[in-house]
Structure 1
């Protein structure tokens, strides 16, 4: 969508490590500092003369705001070409777009990129971000400031400057994983400009939120920045669901504008939530009752059951999510010259979860009799990451060819420990026998363990007990990696883009059943040719690979190596890594005097070696999957007053060989892959009707999404349309009021389709009013 600034044309300067777009320049307003801009390298990559000129040309922060084309902001050095010449599909969610759409979480933000769905987490847990890109799990391909961030969490955006979504195999860029792409989150950094931005918001569903972003110049080359967030809100139409969050993110930099820079950052966020729960599907396995109860529902199509909008199956006195993250980062940077740079980043982070929530379990067919089993899902976990990454990058000429290169090394240790709660009623575990799971006794209802399908009582007192199960498991993942990228200008109109990466990964799983380990050597690569028929356009063809070893999510997602109980031994230690490849052709053009970026891509992704169940009930690497599709994008300014961020994605994702035990073997072959909509559309547009007033509108569409496309027992959520509205009024130079109306039509739609049991329902109509202050 772009960033906010005063629109001005400037003379184009030489591109640095790919941080240019299309021949416009602007300076970020307020606390955002000097940005990498179209046609201008970011401030820390400019020569001294260029920095002085950019500072002189910087617009007055009190001048009018308009929107210009989106850009790479403090992007990873691994991208060695401009966005225009990068041979991948890339979507950029700017700070401007986050603010305009009132996207306070990562899940909210990713709604603006078509082709992305959010899946349920480990064990069907709806808590924690699990995005699917082009039909592939990207939980382990999420990065913060260039470093992998696997820990399960629901990410906030109060400290986010921009989000870059890179689609297609990104193994050479991101390391393990990355079949569908990677999500790169860039946090707010200190700048040499004093500024304060504050926000206070109120809305329906008891919405209250405040943020503060302050940046102070403390020396000639040093600055301190502080971001704060407090959030207390319900969810429109979703019963007693409530979220309470607090975040703080201080950072300090020294040496800004000099060849040697040091930045120290700390991030803390914690939440205490009463989480939303799902709606069961209408076609569970049928189990005939013998207690004389009458069946009240026929077998359905596989969609969620039709119940009132605010139906909520949880238990207020049992359900809670109490999660937190602490992250400390040290970044050291040195410029050997205007064309050679070194960056070293060290980080330690800890993510904790203490979650108890109700799954409306349909596995026993209780809904056919008008009942729901309130199954307890829980997670008690600690996840630690220690990583150090060094990047050496820049440009040089060799044998008459210009090279923009990046090389580096990564050393990371990730380790997690997971336990659960055990629920008992009158000393009896509710998961044992059928009294509770089948809702077959009066005690199942009087204790609150079972409830009515059509009229559940969230306030019912659950009379059971919770205690730690005391049987934790742990997973450790050690990574050593080296990588090299280069964009070679072969001719004025022809570039070659290449990248290679080698990872040595060692993983260990421990539980009461024993210890299982494995090691993998992963080699991934990418190669592309980029043809530039004109300076404002590119046409590319690329080939890229990725590799996903067992245990990739380090116990934080659905992929692990805890397969030691199989009668053939520790299957997890002998399985091969999944191997994927993407073939993509595409084009990108800057049009309307470089104000608007138009892009399109046609691609095919083939996944092989993924785990499937064999006909005899074992596990092997026989799975294959194919995704074919295309997407188009439109981003920037149509006129000075009219801005647009739009995209459409078509995906045909099929399980070519999906396995299955016994009679189910081959049943899913050729069926739709889960978490992959065939059609999706995202459109956000704003128009400044008069100087102080801007109106915005959003249109979002997603077609049917399967949890499973089983021909005998499908689970899916229907397609939907969503419409949003925004109006902003600026007054008294430093203030603005913003109204957001989300889901204007109050449509009932679903955001997650779990493989079994339930789907997650989206909020109803939501109205938010925010007062923004900028100095």
Structure 2
């Protein structure tokens, strides 16, 4: 066995760490030598040689298996669209927060929050909210928070309903991050140090060491700060830690422990706003964030994972996690308006008024999941059976801050309540006020809770991956969830106690027909269920996924149900180095809970909506040649409201839905020392409105009210191997300096800005 130093040089600066924490058995088991025990040192050398052949010299863009132990088939034989992003792809793209990683992908867009809710990341997959459908190593990661990739080995985006795996939610899909893990097989260290424009600096340490033959530990440390490109005063800071330990008795038992911590401190930016006169977002809007603005997240999670091989055909897995997050924000909004005629400085003049958006959230959760995998044959049929039991307990406390406005107002504007004093960004001369970051002068203290969400869920599921013969494979899954839900809400001065219990069932049936050993076609049917009030951050705000109706109505409401039909084909070509997939899907959501105000007192039901998303999705990832790596995903989709309590909504598109989207990342290894590449993101035009319902529409002018323009963004990178232990990478973000917007609030009052041009240089040292 070669020394760790020689091993690193033979694999190159990136491939080593990628393959280590992916674990050999999961990522490349299909290619491993027969009877190869991945805990055996001699076997490690054989697997490493396979990886060198399997991937381009320094990076891996192809993974054959999911990191979720419950997905027993190879990805090529899984009857569902799953996009897997490797650690190498993520690093070379220059993206770090999970939000920006996902936002670039086809079929995924971002959403905004009610009243500027800026707790954390919000994703929309195939037109449906997925902000609560985020998982880490197969366990739900509840609450709204900032998520970083420094401790992530790969990101898996499941497209289409997947409640058999995920439980409640997952209407359009789910996101699962696989964390880095300790290994007894390697002793290595790596430091990534970055500097760049906009005061960017980032330091990441990854160190794994075996303590004995049976024990190992791994530490990942993050420290990074930067300003938003071309937005002075908008800042981001992340401090993170992942401590991972492993006990491996080599024969049959492995126990992992993880402690994760992240502290994120940002000055938030609600971006621009939609100008109804020009029907475009306002360009080049000045920075208007105030000195006291903040967006803070503190995340702590402790995880224990146990893997036990009862026999060659029977394996037991348990994952147990306890976590707490504390989130809070105070942010400033901006909208175009005019000074009132009563304004003493510039009556009737155009200006930009400032507003306050704020809230806090505390999350405490416990989850444990038991899985038993049994490989058995019945006659000529080989089964991989999975029996699972899961319990989760989530407590989410939401509230607001008590705000004091210490500076005098500087303008008068007109609104629904008549003429009132306000804070304006633009002075009487049409220029931005001096000391624009201190116009309002707020102080604040934490106020009372206004929504205490609680949900205990017990779930049982069974899945079977059955190989009928050389051509046919069937996947079947069935899951039951029993939920005990409560939410104590303060709404318009009244205290409302919501509580109900419910059982719901979901299933998944997929059939795969292998045309050849390397090509197949498949058909799949899957379902999902959304409960009333399933979004934990919104109390009784029905329009954004909170509770609908009063407590009695809410308890009687039916859950929203989603059905997905998908036909596709998957190909593994070029000696299994390149993966190609194509799929057509139709996703229909029934019993959609709509916000219709007092009308429910006469309607007597909350489930008045129905919508549909259909389209095609194409994917390609892996290695076209020994020098050229690629990851491409493209989606062409249509959305339509099929039924609504407001008949004028029927036929409209869903809000924040991009019908066309494309992501392409290329990498070319010119020689042993130099590689270069880049990525390209295209998102089609979108329209603002409430999530999961019709986009806002102006029937008078027969046009959508809020338009998010389509956009194209290009990023470039280049890698240079300085020595066997040192690599230099340069990333250029948004090289054309395109101004673009990623999402719109339902009124157009704010539209999130994408990052402007940036440059970063990263030095990687392995030891």
TM-score by length of 1: 0.87
Structure 1 51/30 Cα, relative in aligned 2: closer, same or farther at 3 Å?
closer
**Which of 258, 261, 276 matches 1:265?**
258
Distance 2:109 2:594 in 1: 23
Structure with greater helix share of residues: 2
Q: Does 1:755 align with 2:755?
A: no
2:315 partner SS: strand
1:517-666 matches, cutoff 5 A: 517-555=499-537, 562-563=547-548, 566=550, 570-614=552-596, 617-618=599-600, 620-659=606-645, 665-666=646-647
**Which of 315, 329, 335 matches 1:341?**
315
Q: Does 1:94 align with 2:86?
A: yes
**How far does residue 229 in structure 1 lie from its aligned partner after superposition?**
0.3
Q: Does 1:493 align with 2:471?
A: yes
Distance 1:339 1:765 in 2: 53
**Which of 128, 141, 144 matches 1:136?**
128
**Which of 312, 331, 334 matches 2:287?**
312
2:82 partner SS: strand
Comparing 572-581 with 527-536, which one deviates more in the overlay? 572-581
Distance 1:454 1:760 in 2: 23
Distance 2:9 2:472 in 1: 33
Per-residue deviation, residues 333-386 of structure 1 (Å, max 9, x unmatched): 110123221011111111111210012256999999523332211112101111
1:291-370 matches, cutoff 5 A: 299-301=277-279, 303-306=280-283, 308=284, 311-315=286-290, 317-361=291-335, 370=350
Q: Does 1:472 align with 2:450?
A: yes
2:354 match = 374
Q: Does 1:40 align with 2:30?
A: yes
2:486 match = 508
Distance 1:127 1:608 in 2: 29
Distance 2:396 2:627 in 1: 50
Determine if contact 2:508/2:524 at 8 Å carries over to the other structure: yes
Structure 1 734/605 Cα, relative in aligned 2: closer, same or farther at 3 Å?
same
Structure 1 26/592 Cα, relative in aligned 2: closer, same or farther at 3 Å?
farther
Structure 1 107/6 Cα, relative in aligned 2: closer, same or farther at 3 Å?
farther
Comparing 734-743 with 514-523, which one deviates more in the overlay? 514-523
Structure 1 233/436 Cα, relative in aligned 2: closer, same or farther at 3 Å?
farther
Determine if contact 1:372/1:450 at 8 Å carries over to the other structure: no
2:692 match = none
**How far does residue 72 in structure 1 lie from its aligned partner after superposition?**
5.0
Structure 1 116/563 Cα, relative in aligned 2: closer, same or farther at 3 Å?
closer
**Which of 644, 667, 690 matches 1:686?**
667
**Which of 462, 471, 474 matches 2:440?**
462
Structure 1 235/668 Cα, relative in aligned 2: closer, same or farther at 3 Å?
same
**How far does residue 124 in structure 1 lie from its aligned partner after superposition?**
3.1
Determine if contact 2:409/2:423 at 8 Å carries over to the other structure: no
1:745 partner SS: coil
Per-residue deviation, residues 483-510 of structure 1 (Å, max 9, x unmatched): 1111111221011111000000111011
Determine if contact 1:36/1:74 at 8 Å carries over to the other structure: yes
Distance 2:389 2:764 in 1: 42
Per-residue deviation, residues 595-623 of structure 1 (Å, max 9, x unmatched): 10010000000001111245963272010
Determine if contact 2:339/2:350 at 8 Å carries over to the other structure: no
2:27 partner SS: coil
**How far does residue 691 in structure 1 lie from its aligned partner after superposition?**
1.1
1:677 match = 658
Per-residue deviation, residues 105-129 of structure 1 (Å, max 9, x unmatched): 1022224521111112354324411
Structure 1 594/652 Cα, relative in aligned 2: closer, same or farther at 3 Å?
same
2:3 match = none
Comparing 606-615 with 96-105, which one deviates more in the overlay? 606-615
Distance 1:105 1:576 in 2: 36
Determine if contact 1:27/1:35 at 8 Å carries over to the other structure: no
1:733 match = 724
User: Gaps spanning 5+ residues in structure 1: where?
Assistant: 8-24, 284-298, 660-664
Distance 2:521 2:573 in 1: 15
2:70 partner SS: coil
Determine if contact 2:61/2:630 at 8 Å carries over to the other structure: no
Structure 1 305/369 Cα, relative in aligned 2: closer, same or farther at 3 Å?
farther
1:120-135 matches, cutoff 5 A: 120-135=112-127
**Which of 8, 26, 44 matches 1:55?**
44
Structure 1 450/658 Cα, relative in aligned 2: closer, same or farther at 3 Å?
farther
Structure 1 166/683 Cα, relative in aligned 2: closer, same or farther at 3 Å?
same
1:622 partner SS: strand
**How far does residue 189 in structure 1 lie from its aligned partner after superposition?**
0.3
**Which of 70, 78, 85 matches 1:78?**
70
**Which of 417, 422, 425 matches 2:402?**
422
Distance 1:281 1:643 in 2: 40
Distance 1:602 1:540 in 2: 11
Structure 1 429/396 Cα, relative in aligned 2: closer, same or farther at 3 Å?
farther
Distance 1:657 1:679 in 2: 24
Distance 2:496 2:558 in 1: 21
Comparing 387-396 with 34-43, which one deviates more in the overlay? 34-43
User: Gaps spanning 5+ residues in structure 2: where?
Assistant: 1-7, 341-346, 690-694, 699-703
**How far does residue 257 in structure 1 lie from its aligned partner after superposition?**
3.4
| Total equivalences in the alignment | 724
2:144 match = 152
1:228 partner SS: strand
Q: Does 1:412 align with 2:402?
A: no
1:200-239 matches, cutoff 5 A: 200-239=193-232
1:278 partner SS: coil
**How far does residue 647 in structure 1 lie from its aligned partner after superposition?**
1.3
